[in-house]
Amino acid sequence: MSAGSRLENANPTIFQRSGERLLTATEEDEDAHDPIDDREIFDILSINDPEHPLSLEDLNVVEQVRVKVDDAESSVGVEFTPTIPHCSMATLIGLSIKVKLLRSLPDRFKIDVQITPGSHASEEAVNKQLADKERVAAALENSSLLEVVNQCLTSRSI
Amino acid sequence: MAADSSLLLSLVEEYVSGLQDSKAKDTATGVKDGEFTVLQLVEALGLSLTSSQPHTRARGVQLLSEVLHECYGNLTEREVEVLIAFYENRLKDHYVITPSVLQGLRALTKCAALPPGSAVSMLRSLFQDVHVQSLMLAERSCVYSMLINLMETREAELKGLGADFVFGFVQSMDGERDPRNLLLAFQIAKSIIHRGYDLGKFTEELFEVTSCYFPIDFTPPSNDPHGITKEDLIEALRAVLSGTPKFAEFVLPLIIEKLDSDVQSAKLDSLQTLTSCVSQYEHKDLAEFLEGLWTSLRREVFQTSSERIECAGLAALTALTSCLSRSVLNSDSEDSLSTFLDLVLTDCKHHLCEPDLKLVWPSAKLLQAACSASSRASHIITAAVMPALVEQYSSRTQCSHRRTLLEVVLRFIQSVTSSQSSENEESMFLAFRQSLCDMVFSALSETNSSLQITATTTLTSLAQQTGLLLDADIELAVDHLTRLLLTEEDEKVSVAVVSCAGALAELHPTIFISKFIPRLKKEMFSEPMDQDNNREASEKHSHHAVRQQCLSALAAVSIRPSVVQESTPVLLEVLSSAHAGSVGFSVEEVVLACRSLQKIAEQVQDTEETGRCFHELIIPRLLSLALQAALQGEGSSGRRSPLVEEVVLSAVVSVIGTSCSRLQPKLAEQTAARAVSLFLDGDVSFLPDNSFPSHIQLLKQPQRESWSQLQMVCLLMGCVCSLPRSVAVPQIEQLLSQLEEMSCTCTHPLSYTSAAKCFAGLVNKQSQGDSLDSLIQRTMKRVCGELDSTSSPTRSQAFTLMIWVAKGLLLRYHPLSTALTDKLFSLLDDADLGSMAAEGFSLLMSDSADVLNRGCHADLRIMYRQRFFSENSAKLVQGFNAAPQEKKSNYLKALSNIVNKLPKQVQITELPALLNLLLEALSCPDQGVQLSTLSCLEPVLIDPPPALIQQLEALFSRLLALVSSPTMSVKITSLRCIHALSRLPTHEIFPFRARVLKALARPLDDKKRRVRSEAVLARGEWYLVGSPGGSCLYSHERTNENLEQH
């Protein structure tokens, strides 16, 4: 059976990418302090979708408006929107986002990943799984699950 | 003779009974040397050939065949005839003999003395007595070689065999499986088709026996010694299948069938074969399959999964359409082209009008592919599609829809351009001129920037259609472009507008001269009315932006000489009013004006007329303005002319340099003479606005130190150093000695540096000989004298002159350059000049912008950098080891300056020798050294040499230390290096993973965003090192399983 027939959402709507962040003069300035902002977190999250050769940004799974960061308070909140309400990949996408943030942010941050309210059938269950530290840790002990997460996080340039 | 026959007998005996294979070679040598004849050999073989043991007979025939293989060239026709008769007869013998018989026959086919008729009889017996496919691989190959040999030399005879030959071949190759033999078989089939052998009633059989391999699916074994690739087989088979229109009725259904396949490579092969087929076909071959082919092609483009297949599909459609366009119309036959295009239009046109525009691109691509096939096709399609597109455009209100439609229109115009047979043909868009213009102009008036950009590109394409746009349209276009240029703030739009203006000006210069240039001039010279400073700063800024746009647009439109003659005076006027202070141009704007002049000098069509314009007008005017400014100095008014600023002067130097380097020889000579007489003799007669004092001495130090006059020497450099090498500079001796004097004694940095550069630029172009050598030696003596006396006040002047002369000589491989560069190496230990000397190496190795480069015709040998490096790297290492601790950093800096400029290939080969030094350089406290070492390591790390792998421990500890450097750029580059290291083989780097991850946690919280983002990238990759799923391909099935478990 070819891989194509098992896709849940074979022909998704593709959204325009927001383009590279423009370099500002302050960022070039050796002494200025650049706070961590929403866009920076959003750029970190250019993760591959497990079903498509497209990034989550292309599919509007992650949008910049749904990323909230408070550098001073050391907290990050991300809401993601599965492409279809019954997407079985929702947990995996959430887990990938969480792992990516854990690897990319300083220890001081509290990371909160949730499904955009009203966008998924089993929203609550998924949110609960993602918020449970021990379940996340246990999931990453599972080497085959870690493999899939790592595949989502592999940069496409290679 | 008797001795010979006994020798022969013993050779035969040893070969046949003794099974000594080497005796065949000895026998062949004997025959070749004339010791014995083939006849004698056959006689000697007599007993073995008639033996009752098949193996003995086989051995006998084998000896004969091997001898024939060596000496087929010496046989007479009579001998050949007898041998052929013998071999043909032996084909009927026991099967163990057949291989040797075939070898013998193959040798005979190569024979020039083949008697007439023998080719035919040989083949008849072969086809009759041998079943090729039950032979072994080598023997089958032997049969194919025989066929190839005979087809080369006996074509007429074989054609006499008629269709029997084809039938025989078809039977021989039926069922062949070995790729090597298949290549031979395809070659034969191709020759049969291309050389016009009679296929008779076996056309279908020949097709069947070859097409059963289509599409080729072959993966060579990894250790394949034969080097046959899938592509070789595909190409060979394609040549057969597409070779003749007689195959059309078989091959087209096959292609349609294979296009249904799920295998991507099969689709691709089918499409490419189709493209290749239809180039040979006529419309009647295609007629009955058009519908099926179209359905398949449409499906491939509409539901495409890969870009390659889409491209192949579109190419096939273009080929198909152009095949149909070639057909000659009869009065009674139907026009297959228009029938086919009707089909295409019915399926595609309505998608252009669907409300969601979802399939608009695939449909447009298909239509455009058909459009680009021939001019008739494009007439039919544009006539059908254009009105619909125009109507759609006007009925849509959303900018994104309009942009899509406009882009579709643009592609149509471009595809039609590619199909037009001659330039003079009337444009097929003539009927739609008005509506197309309306569309473009309305898009230009929109506020959406991407729509505007598309509109400018469309405008350019429309203008390139001969005779399409009227003068009135161009005038309107110019109005729109001017408006956008003056008001638009989006940089991308401005760039598009400027390039569109450039393209239009090349086609319609007069309108640009009469409308565009005057308008821009007016805008630039209007002062922003902020004399009282009560205007907003932002408006002042926008006025600057407008001027900037105007300046770059003036440069872009100046391609035709007639436009240049109008635009350059405007630019010169900017400079002169800036100098006079009548209009307030900022220094930056003056520099931009110079850049525009330089761009014009670069791009203008090289004619006598423009050369004269630069020679007569622009260069004298620039010199005159600069001189006026210099004489004025910081004089009376207290206001400095912008033309004495260093940035402006160096921009003027590039204008003069670029235009001088492009002057025709005669004008160049005159310009050189004028410049030299101005600087040496104070001859100002050729300058306009001549109100200069009569005793100007630009190269001599006047009583009162006046740097503004001295620095004029850089203009002299721009002029005399850029001339073609054939142009002789007058009074060269005097000029050089004054330049040397100035560069050694003057105290103004720009002036002495320019004098040194000018000196070096002239020396670089001097012809080889004693006078040059003595000049250099004289200068060297003076310079070294200055440098050796540590108390001399002009040491840095002497150093500057030395380094530039060294560069000038190094570029041309002059033997004396070594003395100067050695001096430079020795200066690395100098207390004052040490770090300057280290920086000097970067000057030696990099291209300089205004002098000693290819643009200004310098004598520049290729690979001088590599040569310098290989001659001197040992000296550097030696010097480093011998140097006192506090001087070591100079050596490291010098090394990184040199290595940085080397091509990557050289870096990689040289790196192992220098690795220790480079690692040392990483721990050197100088940030410049750190940075340049890191940037030369970074590319090497992508494909590191083995020597580096052994030093990983040292490398990691130094790189991880640099991650905490106080300097942003060092942090960024070291993080990039660490990122690159994550791609090394996992078993080498895994031991460092934990250390790297820990060290990279800190830069994640760096205060600089750029550092953080590099750290995020690097850390993400390092997490994947040795972790499951790290860099393998993604597999879908696995995911689903895992999730179920989860």
Interface of B with A (CB under 8 A): 262, 967-968, 983, 1001, 1004-1005, 1007-1010, 1012-1013, 1016-1017, 1019-1021, 1023-1024, 1027-1032, 1034, 1036-1043, 1045-1046
Q: Give residue-wise pLDDT tens across range B557-567.
A: 998 889 999 99
Query: Which residues in A lie closer than 8 A to residue B1023 (C-beta atoms)?
Result: 103, 150, 153
Closest CA to B123 of B159, B94, B69: B159
Amino acid identity for residue B44 in this structure: A
Quote the pLDDT of residue B331.
61
- Which of the four pLDDT bands, split at 50, 70 and 90, describes residue B940? confident
- Which of the four pLDDT bands, split at 50, 70 and 90, describes residue B997? very high
Quote the pLDDT of residue B49.
84
Quote the pLDDT of residue B1033.
32
What are the structure tokens assigned to B796, written together? 């840095």
pLDDT of B1026 > 60? The answer is yes
Q: Which of A2, A27, A89 sits opposite B1010 (nearest CB)?
A: A27
- Which of the four pLDDT bands, split at 50, 70 and 90, describes residue B532? very low
Q: Give residue-wise pLDDT tens across range B371-421.
A: 888 888 888 898 999 998 988 888 888 888 888 889 999 999 888 877 665
Q: Give residue-wise pLDDT tens across range B68-100.
A: 888 888 888 888 888 999 999 888 888 888 899
Quote the pLDDT of residue B218.
85
- Which of the four pLDDT bands, split at 50, 70 and 90, describes residue B971? very high
Quote the pLDDT of residue B1046.
37
Quote the pLDDT of residue A157.
36
Assess contact for B606 and B557: CB atoms under 8 A.
no
Mean local confidence (pLDDT), A52-78: 79
Mean local confidence (pLDDT), B930-934: 84
Closest CA to B956 of B939, B935, B937: B937
Question: Rounded CA gap, B793 and B238, in Å?
Answer: 80
- DSSP run (H or E) holding B808: helix B795-811
Query: Which residues in B lie closer than 8 A to residue A38 (C-beta atoms)?
Result: none
Question: What stretches of B289-374 show up as alpha helix (H) in DSSP?
Answer: 290-302, 307-326, 336-348, 360-371
Q: Give residue-wise pLDDT tens across range B781-811.
A: 999 988 888 888 888 899 999 999 999 999 9
Assess contact for B804 and B783: CB atoms under 8 A.
no
Question: Rounded CA gap, A128 and B889, in Å?
Answer: 58
Query: Which residues in A lie closer than 8 A to residue B1004 (C-beta atoms)?
Result: 104-106
Quote the pLDDT of residue B117.
86
C-alpha B236: how far from chain center? 29
Assess contact for B828 and B887: CB atoms under 8 A.
yes
Q: Give residue-wise pLDDT tens across range B274-303.
A: 999 988 888 888 888 989 999 999 998 888
pLDDT of A22 > 90? The answer is no
Question: Rounded CA gap, B261 and B360, in Å?
Answer: 26
Q: What is the ipTM of this complex?
A: 0.87
Residue whose token pair is 């220098």: B914
Measured CA distances, B759 to A122, B746, B788, B864 (Å): 80, 14, 22, 20
Give the number of C-alpha atoms closer than 13 A to the C-alpha of residue B729, restricted to the C-beta side.
29
- Which of the four pLDDT bands, split at 50, 70 and 90, describes residue B592? very high
Question: Rounded CA gap, A21 and B688, in Å?
Answer: 51
Residue whose token pair is 């960061």: A69
Closest CA to B719 of B768, B750, B679: B679
Quote the pLDDT of residue B974.
93
Quote the pLDDT of residue B329.
66
Cross-chain residue pair A155–B1007, CB shorter than 8 Å? no
Residue B330: phi and psi, rounded to 5, are -95, 160
Quote the pLDDT of residue A156.
47
- Which of the four pLDDT bands, split at 50, 70 and 90, describes residue B882? confident
Assess contact for B67 and B41: CB atoms under 8 A.
yes
- Closest-CA distance of chain A to residue B490, Å: 14
* Complete DSSP assignment for B184-217: HHHHHHHHHHHTT---GGGHHHHHHHHHTTPSP-
What are the structure tokens assigned to B213, written together? 């391999």
* Complete DSSP assignment for A52-109: SSSBTTTTTSEEEEEEEEETTTTEEEEEE--SSTT-TTHHHHHHHHHHHHHHHS-TT-
Quote the pLDDT of residue B1039.
36
Quote the pLDDT of residue A48.
59
- Closest-CA distance of chain B to residue A117, Å: 23
Cross-chain residue pair B1028–A40, CB shorter than 8 Å? no
Quote the pLDDT of residue B926.
80
For residues B572 and B904, the model is more confident at B572
- Which of the four pLDDT bands, split at 50, 70 and 90, describes residue B757? very high
Cross-chain residue pair B1038–A148, CB shorter than 8 Å? yes
Best of B1009, B1038, B1043 to disrupt the A interface (most A CBs within 10 Å) is B1009
What is the spatial order of strands in the sheet that A75-80 belongs to? A62-70, A75-80, A110-115
Question: Rounded CA gap, B18 and B1031, in Å?
Answer: 62
pLDDT of B985 > 90? The answer is no
Q: Which of A34, A48, A103 sits opposite B1020 (nearest CB)?
A: A103
Best of A154, A156, A158 to disrupt the B interface (most B CBs within 10 Å) is A154
For residues B708 and B1015, the model is more confident at B1015
Cross-chain residue pair A104–B1039, CB shorter than 8 Å? no
Cross-chain residue pair A149–B1029, CB shorter than 8 Å? yes
For residues B987 and A152, the model is more confident at B987
- Which of the four pLDDT bands, split at 50, 70 and 90, describes residue B636? low
Quote the pLDDT of residue B327.
75
Question: Residues 6 or more apart from B726 whose CB is under 8 A from it?
Answer: B665
Closest CA to B414 of B381, B371, B456: B371
- SS3 of residue B890 by DSSP: helix
CB atoms < 10 A from the CB of B401, how many? 18
What are the structure tokens assigned to B363, written together? 């449909």
CB atoms < 10 A from the CB of B667, how many? 20
Mean local confidence (pLDDT), B455-474: 89
Query: Which residues in A lie closer than 8 A to residue B1008 (C-beta atoms)?
Result: 27, 30, 34
Quote the pLDDT of residue B423.
58
Quote the pLDDT of residue B360.
85
What are the structure tokens assigned to B927, written together? 């940030």
Strands A75-80 vs A110-115: parallel, antiparallel or unpaired: parallel
Amino acid identity for residue B992 in this structure: F
Beta bridge partners of A68: A77
Quote the pLDDT of residue B1042.
38
Measured CA distances, B651 to B113, B574, B589, B644, B751 (Å): 79, 14, 11, 11, 16
Assess contact for A17 and A58: CB atoms under 8 A.
yes
Cross-chain residue pair A145–B1042, CB shorter than 8 Å? yes
What are the structure tokens assigned to A54, written together? 């497209």
Assess contact for A48 and A152: CB atoms under 8 A.
yes
Region of B34 (left: φ > 0; alpha: ψ -120 to 50; beta: rest) is: left
Query: Which residues in A lie closer than 8 A to residue B1010 (C-beta atoms)?
Result: 23, 27
When mean pLDDT is compared across B204-218, B590-604, B902-916, the lowest value belongs to: B902-916
Which class in CATH covers the domain with range A34-153?
alpha beta
Assess contact for A149 and A140: CB atoms under 8 A.
yes
Q: Give residue-wise pLDDT tens across range B97-128.
A: 889 999 999 998 988 888 888 888 888 898 88
- Closest-CA distance of chain A to residue B1045, Å: 9
Mean local confidence (pLDDT), B660-665: 88
When mean pLDDT is compared across B306-315, B332-341, B661-670, B860-869, the lowest value belongs to: B332-341
Quote the pLDDT of residue A9.
60
Mean local confidence (pLDDT), B62-73: 88
Beta bridge partners of A79: A114
- DSSP run (H or E) holding A115: strand A110-115
For residues B324 and B535, the model is more confident at B324
Quote the pLDDT of residue B591.
94
What's the whole-number average pLDDT of chain B? Answer: 86
- Closest-CA distance of chain A to residue B972, Å: 12
pLDDT of B1043 > 80? The answer is no
